[in-house]
Structure 1
């Protein structure tokens, strides 16, 4: 058999999160979470000012407080942001805020066509199937989404950067996956949609890399995948034949 392990990215590879752009989703999330915060902290500024402050701090954290490929999850980030705003945090506040903030995201996601079908075919071949995904959001959110779309049952293991503290394109998260799959890099294939994160990261770790087409993905460094596909069904030829 050509490959012993097939590893997938999640967002825009198996589940489409970008049915709205991320800035729009962020605004929707704040609109949903702001009344909860305003009720607890009546002194909060109006939504527009609160949102501007929140995103300025979040962007600073993601750009400047994640050295190397360290990941910071959304709970950690919100704790830092709210403390910088001078808010006295009570138990459970950040968790509730994140639940409300994320709700508009999960309400608009869709499964990528062909995802269940190709996972089912790979599973029947006894190849190990794993997930390696960058996300600042909690693993439990994504596992529920995968369950709702009928994807979870096909995976032997999942690795989310928010849970393990390291992210793509660093080698560490790919090496974790290889250890879980009990295979060598050359016997593993990775499918993802971002050149600088998925394709570069997988190839740098020694895996075979497949780029899943997604409109608007830029490739300024001209990173070359080993394979390119438009539809997930094309993986059958690459992996199973």
Structure 2
């Protein structure tokens, strides 16, 4: 298979550049909600018991999750917090929502790490490609991820970053990929997308004419047949076997 010579390379974030899933998301979500609850208690808010609080949070979150699966309209944790606070009669403003989110996110942030081959690979590819960007599905505010990209040294390699929580639609919706292509200033066929999920990161971009490379992650469950994933890697460094650098 000939190497690609794209004008733009666009990356997924989680499990592609930075690892977020160090423990299962459902387990991590419970830790996050409890961290947020403890913050509210520390500020003197009158809250229901632990189980009732977690059940209420999970119920609100599940409603948004189900709608997102059907419509690909993104939700985010601060929106869930606002609705939860209204249900629990907790007075709030934007400052409290931000502070609650920071506490909620701490169990995620404390476990993050960047893969060891990421920075060197990005440096190699940047010298051969005119544009590099990022498109990520996330229910966390963009400000959190901007800080992580800077913290782990990824930010200088990116010309743009698109987060579903800000854009409003999530992968594999074609609009988020069209938006990225416009940001890159290239035609779809001149761009490669790299990510670790088949539907979101392969079917999504190839559906608008982009090339795609699937990063196969051992813990991820994949469909038995993935006809659109004709290019696959296990480490980001393997990209140099598919992209002319």
TM-score, normalization by structure 2: 0.92
Aligned-pair CA distance for 1:188: 0.6
Q: Is 1:191–1:209's contact at 8 Å kept on the other side of the alignment?
A: yes
Instruction: Tell me what 1:234 maps to.
Output: 238
Q: Is 1:5–1:187's contact at 8 Å kept on the other side of the alignment?
A: yes
Structure 1 gap segments, 5+ residues each: none
- Any idea what the Cα deviations from partners look like across 1:173-213, whole Å, max 9, x if unmatched? 00011001111111110000111211111111211111101
1:161-200 alignment, distance < 5 Å: 161-200=164-203
Instruction: Tell me what 1:96 maps to.
Output: 99
Instruction: Tell me what 2:135 maps to.
Output: 132
RMSD of aligned alpha carbons: 1.8
- Any idea what the Cα deviations from partners look like across 1:25-65, whole Å, max 9, x if unmatched? 11221222212223456431222221122112101122126
Q: Is 2:8–2:129's contact at 8 Å kept on the other side of the alignment?
A: no
| CA spacing shift, 1:167–1:91, aligned 2, 3 Å | closer
| CA spacing shift, 1:90–1:184, aligned 2, 3 Å | closer
* Structure 1 residue 2 corresponds to structure 2 residue 13: no
Aligned-pair CA distance for 1:77: 2.3
Aligned-pair CA distance for 1:142: 0.8
Aligned-pair CA distance for 1:167: 1.0
- State which drifts further: 219-228 or 23-32: 219-228
Structure 2 gap segments, 5+ residues each: none
2:14 aligned counterpart, secondary structure:
coil
Q: Is 2:188–2:209's contact at 8 Å kept on the other side of the alignment?
A: yes
Q: Is 1:185–1:205's contact at 8 Å kept on the other side of the alignment?
A: yes
2:161 aligned counterpart, secondary structure:
strand
Question: In the comparison of the two structures, how many residue pairs are matched?
Answer: 241
Q: Is 1:208–1:226's contact at 8 Å kept on the other side of the alignment?
A: no
